[in-house]
Amino acid sequence: MNISFRLRGQIFALTLLAPTIIFVCVFAFYPIANSFYLSLHRIIIGLPELGSRFIGLENYKALFNDIIARKALLNTLLFVFITTFFEILFGLAIAILINKRFKGRGLIRASILIPWAIPTVVSSQMWRFIFNDKYGLFNLLIYGSNSDHYKAWLAEPLYAFIAIIMADVWKTSSFAALLILAGLQVIPEELYLAAKVDGASTWKQFTKITLPLIRPALLIALLFRTMDAFRVFDLVFVMTQGGPADATNVLQFYGYKKIFAEGLMGYGSTISVLVFVVTFSISLFYIRLLGRRLTRGTS
């Protein structure tokens, strides 16, 4: 009787979980498996007479020897490292600011989230206009109305890379701030009062109380931003098209060009698999690190 009751409970639980499991399998596991399957074939869009030919790991060997792919990987890693660093840094500063009590705090909190709420394509187009060499705001702020000195910022490799970093940091720092703010709000006010009584300075309170207690929130923000930064595409597509001289060519955009511009479906899928493997590995590392922090915090 007890076994039958337990079995019915398990069946009921599986029934409730079934829609979620099916959704994850259809929209997550299947695309990943299909991308890996395509990466093992030579498929050229627009040439159906060649068909789909199984070539094993040849695409991966070609990707390993692809100089442009290696440069795109380096660009992606640099973009991820720099943007996540500044987004967490600015997000922490914003979160600490809006966590304090002051008049109009609700309005400030809402306004800070506006950049994150704007669609990436729209914000990318806005930043492309800002760095325009003829009528851009950036040139106007630096050189004033003297248009003879205006520079084509997006036409120079270093400046173009800095431009996409600025655009991404501006847009997503508020998202990091929102996650960190959630961690700040669970810190008891009594800890700060006790620290003040003991004579602790503001910096001591930050390093000994605030920073250790918001580490889980910081790691969660870092995890989300790292995963999102590795999948950057629309920002590069709108602002620079991967140029100039592949200076802003990231893996996702390179895979897009291989599939849709050159028609190499198999090779483009190989790049997608690489992005997934790198992102998944980093995510596992962050999750394990977060688990250790939480375990230490509860022990």
Domains of the chain: residue spans and CATH: 32-298 (1.10.3720.10)
The per-residue pLDDT for range 226-258, each reduced to its tens digit, is 988 988 999 999 999 998 889 999 999 999 999
The pLDDT of residue 88 = 94
The pLDDT of residue 103 = 81
Whether pTM exceeds 0.95: no
The pLDDT of residue 296 = 60
The pLDDT of residue 2 = 56
The pLDDT of residue 231 = 87
The pLDDT of residue 48 = 65
Q: DSSP of the chain, one letter per residue?
A: -HHHHHHHHHHHHHHHHHHHHHHHIIIIIHHHHHHHHHHTEE-BTT-GGG--EE-TTHHHHHHHT-HHHHHHHHHHHHHHHHHHHHHHHHHHHHHHHHHS--TTHHHHHHHHTHHHHS-HHHHHHHHHHHT-TTT-HHHHHHHTT-GGG---GGGSHHHHHHHHHHHHHHHHHHHHHHHHHHHHTTS-HHHHHHHHHTT--HHHHIIIIIHHHTHHHHHHHHHHHHHHHHT--HHHHHHTTT-STTTT--HHHHHHIIIIIS-BHHHHHHHHHHHHHHHHHHHHHHHHHHHHHHHHHH-
- Flag residues of the chain having pLDDT under 70: 1-3, 48-51, 291-299
